[in-house]
Amino acid sequence: MTSPDALRARLTEGGVIAFPITPFKPDLSLDLDGLRRNLELLMQHKLSAVVAAGGTGELYSLTPAEYAQVVKLTVEVVAGRAPVIAGAGFNQPLAVELAQTAAAAGADGILGFPPYYPQADEEGLRAYYQSIGAATKLGMLVYSRDWANFSPAQVEKMAASIPTLVAWKDGQGDLRRFQMIMNRVGERLYWIGGAGDDLVAGYYSLGIRTFTSSIATVEPRLSLQLHELAATGQQVELNTLLHQHVVPLYAMRTRRKGYEVSTMKTLMDLAGQSGGPVRPPLVDVKKEEVEELRTILQSWQQHLAV
């Protein structure tokens, strides 16, 4: 079992955390063969970590049995080449159950997602994450996204009350607030940029050196290039890469709710990997928009071929 300190040490090496999609067949059943093929291609690249059943992996679309299969297969294919971090959320008892399932399957850490209730009191929200942290001996990351938007004082209390909490993944994209949180809590937690590949420049300007990437599930080389340029201060080259090849994708991802997942699955299909449809309430990319994604993918391939 990977200890919380060991997980943190792996993360602090810096780099890209990949968020693989969970492929489904046309009938919306789980495509485990496709997932295996996707992961085998992904693991040809040096990654900081791999998240099983994360947001891009449609955690909230999976049954507990499917979740167990996804985590187990991810651990098997990754085979220790990077930490496997499993998502856990929904409600308190189910989040605890998922975390324990992930630990039994050999995961190296737990990524705590927001609970189902969007108007939770601060004390109740903290108790929810404390339960996830106490469910296993694994290191835990909190994913601050959607309505789980914390003040610096709240994060400080979370860090003090959850011994296994090792890292914080920002999914809000509010760099001012994130900077205030980092300044208040300091080195107690390891800070991860998690709102998107398009914010790498902003995150790295704050001193962050690890970010979570949806693009990595399709084209890890592009995500790794973003990290390298940002970490070495090659700002002009980084901005050019972002503006030409990353921002267009994120503009499309914000076009409709659910597109942050379905655009990536469509790109996987276009790249010859396994993507498939999304499960409701997410929506698939419209047929007339597929060519836009094909153009984006071709621009990546042309850039990387130079």
What is the predicted pLDDT for the residue at 51? 98
Residue 48 sits in a domain whose CATH number is: 3.20.20.70
Per-residue pLDDT of the chain (306 residues; tens, 9 = 90+): 899 999 999 999 999 999 999 999 999 999 999 999 999 999 999 999 999 999 999 999 999 999 999 999 999 999 999 999 999 999 999 999 999 999 999 999 999 999 999 999 999 999 999 999 999 999 999 999 999 999 999 999 999 999 999 999 999 999 999 999 999 999 999 999 999 999 999 999 999 999 999 999 999 999 999 999 999 999 999 999 999 999 999 999 999 999 999 999 999 999 999 999 999 999 999 999 999 999 999 999 999 997
Residue 279 lies in a domain: no
Whether 262 is in a domain gets the answer no
Alpha-carbon distance of 192 to 15, in angstroms, equals: 10
217 Cβ neighbours under 8 A, 6+ residues apart: 18, 19, 20, 21, 38, 42, 56, 264, 268
Is 146 among the domain residues? Answer: yes
3-state class (DSSP) for residue 89:
strand
In-domain check, residue 264: no
pLDDT at 306: 76
Residue 107 within a domain: yes
Number of domains in the chain: 1
295 in any annotated domain = no
Q: What is the pLDDT of residue 1?
A: 85
Identify the pLDDT of residue 46. Answer: 97
CA distance 100 to 266: 32
Nearest CA to 170 among 194, 139, 202? 194
3-state secondary structure of 298: helix
Q: DSSP 3-state assignment of 86?
A: strand
Catalytic residues: 143, 169
Residue range(s) defining the domain that contains residue 182? 4-232
Whether residue 269 lies inside any domain: the answer is no
pTM over 0.85: yes
Strand residues in 178-305 grouped as ranges (E): 190-193, 210-213
Would residue 36 count as lying in a domain? yes
pLDDT at 27: 98
